[in-house]
Amino acid sequence: MHAASEQPTPLLTGDGSHSLCDSRTGETYHSSFGAVQESQHIFIEQGLRFLPKKEITILEVGFGTGLNAWLSLLEGRNSGLTIHYHSLEKYPLSPELTNQLNYSGPTDRDLFRLLHSCAWNREVAITPDFHLTKTECDFTQYKADRMFDCIYFDAFSPDRQPEMWTEERFRHLAGHCNNQAVITTYCSKGDVRRAMIAAGFEVEKLQGPPGKRHILRGIKK
């Protein structure tokens, strides 16, 4: 967990939702143009909704504020999905910080807080149809032990954390993807695209959310 002096700083983004500024890298967790609209576009619309299945196993690289998990829970609830959600995070945030985030309305606030307060390193049924496993680990040391249908790749940028975006790391992920599994990321850099292709994904550039020209989506064939 971040030390008190290293806690990220909350800030409002263009759509009125919160993001954080990371004290170690100087990067924000989400787009300044809008945290919710960015995550909704990249991970829900181009990732989760792209899958025809009703029972889906997701891996998220970077739990962070819990926003992607939260939007996935809401999408699953609205679409009748059963989701097994696995998320990796090296630096979990403090409850004092996550309780300030404004992603949920009053009726769902306790449910959102449960995403952060539930135990790490074991599966927890947040709802009957949304099962969350948060693993506190360094992604570069992560060894997957199951197959995934969808991967949200939401690490800090390759400029700040190049070791997270290597062909070796994408190859490990590809080896644990079911046929037709989808991986989405906000980063569209040529080096990242080539690493994903070399790892075994068919990759396409898609239109990004406001403030971002392109994003990447890969399909495991």
pLDDT reading at 2 higher than 50: no
CB 190 within 8 A of CB 161: no
pLDDT reading at 75 higher than 50: yes
% the chain with pLDDT above 70: 98
Q: What is this structure's pTM? A: 0.95
Q: Which candidate, 21, 153, 169, places its Cα nearest to that of 97?
A: 21
The predicted pLDDT at position 210 comes to: 95
CB 63 within 8 A of CB 192: no
Q: Which candidate, 64, 61, 60, places its Cα nearest to that of 20?
A: 64
* Secondary structure class of 40 (helix, strand, coil): helix
The predicted pLDDT at position 52 comes to: 95
Rounded (5°) CA angle 77-208-170: 80
Based on C-alpha coordinates, what's the Rg of the chain?
16
According to DSSP, the residues that pair with 61 across neighbouring strands are 88, 153
Residues 127-152 have a mean pLDDT of: 97
**205-215 residue pLDDT tens:** 999 999 999 99
Write down the residue that tokens 């449910």 correspond to.
111
Residues 152-158 have a mean pLDDT of: 96
Superfamily of 34-220 according to CATH: Vaccinia Virus protein VP39 (3.40.50.150)
CA distances from 108 to 73, 111, 133, 162, 180 (A): 11, 5, 20, 36, 33
Q: How far apart are CA 126 and CA 111, in angstroms?
A: 7
Secondary structure percentages of the chain, helix, strand, coil, to 5: 30, 30, 40
pLDDT reading at 17 higher than 50: yes
Q: How confident is the model at residue 3 (pLDDT cuts 50, 70, 90)?
A: very low
Output the six-digit token pair for 183: 């991986």
For residue 127, give every residue at least 6 positions away whose Cβ sits within 8 Å of its Cβ, in sequence order, or none: 73, 77, 111
